Amino acid sequence: MKIEQAMQAAINEQIAAELESAYIYLSMSAHFEAENFPGFARWMRLQSQEEVAHAMRLFDYLNERGGRVQLKAIAQPPLEFGAPVSVFEQALGHEQKISSLIDRLYETAKQQHDNPTQVMLQWFIKEQVEEENHVGQVVDQMRLAGDNRAALLFLDGKLGARSGD
């Protein structure tokens, strides 16, 4: 069953949102590299790669359903993000935004009576719960660390040990 045009357009928008996320996280990684936080930089780089994988999951799904992928322009991300806690707060806010976009996409699939897309999107819904929880925990730990440089360096090392998932 070929995907409906409205659903195809909505998935193409989500592909763009996921690629924009990758671009933002890559810029955050560059910011942390410049600030000499290699662990935070690695964490953000891996996060960027994960977002590309999400975009490709949607890309492949759209192709499987006989749709047409239409890549959109992506805005240039910021160059500076502030203190480490601020960067992770921005990352959390961005994950919350992506969650709301996924929720909206799921609602569109429900309205279109597109059961295959609803099933596919359940993976993304679960993934976003995990993403928000994980980034939220990092934000909480950074807030506890405050301006304590030793605690920030400890967290830098801890987050730098993240595996390639």
Structure tokens that stand for 40 in this block: 């935070």
pLDDT score, position 165: 57
Is residue 132 scored above 90 in pLDDT? yes
Is residue 113 scored above 80 in pLDDT? yes
pLDDT score, position 1: 74
Is residue 119 scored above 90 in pLDDT? yes
pLDDT score, position 149: 93
Dihedral angle computed from the Cα positions of residues 105, 108, 114 and 120, in that order, rounded to the nearest 10 degrees: 10
Structure tokens that stand for 79 in this block: 């160059």
52 in a structural domain: yes
pLDDT score, position 133: 97
Q: Can you tell me the mean pLDDT for 145-149?
A: 92
22 in a structural domain: yes
pLDDT score, position 162: 82
Give, in order, the Cα–Cα distances in Å from 94 to each of 85, 88, 91: 14, 10, 5
Q: Whole-angstrom Cα distance, residue 164 to residue 43?
A: 9
Report the CATH number at residue 105.
1.20.1260.10
Name the residue among 96, 15, 110 with its Cα closest to residue 57: 15
Total structural domains in the chain? 1
What's the chain's length in residues? 165
| Tokens 């993934």, residue located | 127
76 in a structural domain: yes
Question: Residue 14 corresponds to which amino acid?
Answer: Q
Q: Can you tell me the mean pLDDT for 23-47?
A: 97
pLDDT score, position 118: 97
Domain range for 136 is 5-160
Q: Can you tell me the mean pLDDT for 9-15?
A: 98
DSSP type of residue 77: P
Q: What pTM was estimated for this model as a whole?
A: 0.94
127 in a structural domain: yes
Q: Whole-angstrom Cα distance, residue 160 to residue 156?
A: 6
165 in a structural domain: no
109 in a structural domain: yes
Is residue 19 scored above 90 in pLDDT? yes
24 in a structural domain: yes
25 in a structural domain: yes
Q: Can you tell me the mean pLDDT for 40-60?
A: 97
